[in-house]
């Protein structure tokens, strides 16, 4: 080994260890994965809530999702507006049938979305149309929820109760499906990486600019949404939930993000290819379509996730010890995400391989964008 190379290895090992010390001690405790209890009740005069569900070719999951919304035990007035975004399957009929079977047909209105105008993403255009149609209901709050998310009966009541405690924008990261081997291997890491990017403690801190949300379950005050410019202000955004949270917080709104297993997505990503497709839809968007940020991210993922086990397994002391400590801290940080999904903590040391998979999907996201197929969703390319 050339003179001085051993010192550089030790410095690299110390650096990757310092990264994990920072992540555990100084990034808002994102890794703790505290789950929100959904048992609170709203005030004696609960506000009016317009529930808006955008749907495009969601017939498989829509009946269960709509039924769970219609059966909310919310004590105040609410109305559901399902926006059919040019579905070519039986999405609308599936929703209407679910409402009829639940005996709640009067609570559901199916709204056909007009043609998608230039400059809008499909979901935001559907939400915009739902908001327009909900105006006659005169809602105090909008609850945006996805067509593949099934909610526990107390979800809306708990969201409103949380909002009434001092928040203008409340969202919940719901539990994703985690059944196949690929899902069990990769889905807990999605939660871990998302909260690392958007630490909930930083989001709720008005002194920080950090803002993030989970669009599958999002409650926003009508006046605050209008003050932030409405969904029109972010009409071209692919990562629409986080963009909306950013605009609300920027306009002075109080934003909160939590975690729940009481609501869950029934959309399956059963194979590694499907999960990679889900990641690559927005990964390069997160990097603002920057090749420089992509290169920095790949390098950062290597140093943070791959270097610790490489050092622990191949280097000599003290670099191997420092690398092993970094790997141990990584595993400790990842363990709560695994427990949230009912996985054994013995999966924790495998996070470097999962991170390698996510890095590959991020590179694939950039390739898709460069080839004009960015942000593909339901036969639309929304970032080209």
Domains of the chain, by residue range, sit at: 5-31+279-371, 33-270
**Cβ-Cβ contacts under 8 Å for 78 (sequence gap 6 or more):** 48, 49, 50, 51, 72, 107, 143, 156
Spell out the residues 6+ positions from residue 225 whose beta carbon is closer than 8 angstroms to its own.
131, 142, 231, 248
Per-residue pLDDT averaged across 13-32, rounded?
97
Average pLDDT over residues 78-99: 95
Cis peptide before 318 (omega within 30 of 0): yes
Top-confidence range, 30-44, 320-334, 364-378: 320-334
Q: Which residue has the tokens 């790949």?
A: 298
Q: What mean pLDDT do residues 201-221 have?
A: 96
Q: Show Cβ contacts of residue 265 under 8 Å, excluding neighbours closer than 6 positions.
A: 146, 148, 149, 150, 174, 175, 176, 177, 216
**Digit-coded pLDDT (tens) for 229-251:** 999 999 999 999 999 999 999 99
pTM for the model stands at: 0.94
Q: Quote the CA–CA distance of 284 and 26 in Å, as a whole number.
A: 26
Average pLDDT of the residues in 285-310: 96
Residue 265, CB-side half-sphere exposure with 13 Å CA sphere: 22
pLDDT tier for residue 141 given thresholds of 50, 70 and 90: very high
Of 49-58, 80-89, 370-379, which range is least confident?
Answer: 370-379
Q: Tell which residue, 331, 376, 324, 374, has the closest CA to residue 355.
A: 331
Contact by Cβ (8 Å): 148, 67? no
* pLDDT value of position 137: 97
Beta strands 169-175; 255-265: pairing state? parallel
* Superfamily of 33-270 according to CATH: Spore Coat Polysaccharide Biosynthesis Protein SpsA; Chain A (3.90.550.10)
Can you give the pLDDT at residue 6?
A: 79
| CA dihedral sign, ordered 259, 357, 378, 128 | positive
Number of neighbouring beta carbons within 10 Å of residue 326: 27
Rounded Cα–Cα distance for residues 184 and 161 (Å): 33
380 falls in which pLDDT band (50, 70, 90)? Answer: low
**Residues 341-359: what's their mean pLDDT?**
97
Handedness of CA 150, 52, 170, 21 (dihedral sign): positive
Q: Is the pLDDT of residue 306 over 90?
A: yes
Q: Is the pLDDT confidence value at 97 over 90?
A: yes
How does pLDDT run across 114-138, given as a tens digit for each residue?
999 999 999 999 999 999 999 999 9
Residue 327, pLDDT > 50, answer: yes
- Residue of 378 and 361 predicted with greater confidence: 361
pLDDT of residue 3: 45
DSSP label at residue 74: -
Measured in degrees and rounded to the nearest 5, phi and psi for residue 276 equal -60, -40
Q: Are 147 and 127 in contact, with CB atoms under 8 Å apart?
A: no
**Residues 6 or more apart whose Cβ sits within 8 Å of residue 192:** 31, 333, 334, 337, 351
The average pLDDT across 343-360 equals 98
């Amino acid at each position: 080994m050339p003179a001085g190379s051993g010192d550089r290895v030790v410095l690299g090992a110390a650096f990757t260890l310092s990264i994990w010390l920072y992540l555990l001690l100084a990034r808002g405790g994102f890794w703790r994965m505290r789950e929100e209890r959904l048992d609170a009740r709203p005030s004696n005069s609960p506000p009016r809530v317009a529930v808006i569900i955008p749907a495009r070719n969601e017939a498989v999951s829509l009946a269960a999702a709509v039924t769970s919304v219609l059966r909310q035990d919310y004590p105040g007035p609410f109305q559901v507006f399902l926006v059919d975004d040019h579905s070519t399957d039986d999405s609308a009929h599936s929703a209407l049938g679910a409402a009829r079977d639940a005996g709640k047909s009067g609570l559901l209105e199916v709204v056909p979305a007009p043609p998608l105008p230039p400059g809008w993403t499909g979901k935001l255009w559907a939400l915009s149309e739902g908001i327009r149609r909900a105006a006659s209901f005169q809602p105090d709050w909008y609850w945006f929820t996805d067509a593949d998310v099934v909610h526990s009966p107390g979800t809306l009541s708990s969201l409103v109760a949380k909002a009434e405690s001092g928040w203008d924008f409340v969202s919940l990261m719901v539990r994703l499906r985690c059944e196949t081997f690929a899902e069990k291997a990769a889905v807990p890491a999605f939660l871990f990486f998302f909260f690392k990017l958007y630490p909930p403690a930083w989001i709720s801190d008005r002194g920080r600019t950090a803002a993030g949300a989970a669009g599958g379950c999002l409650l926003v005050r009508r006046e605050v949404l209008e003050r932030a410019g409405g969904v029109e202000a972010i009409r071209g955004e692919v990562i629409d939930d986080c963009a909306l949270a950013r605009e609300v917080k920027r306009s002075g709104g109080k934003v909160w993000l939590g975690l729940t297993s009481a609501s869950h997505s029934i959309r399956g990503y059963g194979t590694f290819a499907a999960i990679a497709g889900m990641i690559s839809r927005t990964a390069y968007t997160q990097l603002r379509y920057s090749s420089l940020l992509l290169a920095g991210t790949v390098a950062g993922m290597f140093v943070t996730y791959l270097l610790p086990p490489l050092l622990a397994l191949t280097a000599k002391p003290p670099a191997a010890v420092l690398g092993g400590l970094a790997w141990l801290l990584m595993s400790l940080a990842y363990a709560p995400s695994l427990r949230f999904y009912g996985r054994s903590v013995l999966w924790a040391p495998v996070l470097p391989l999962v991170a390698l998979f996510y890095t590959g999907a991020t590179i694939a996201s950039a390739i898709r964008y460069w080839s004009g197929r960015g942000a593909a969703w339901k036969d639309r390319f929304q970032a080209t």
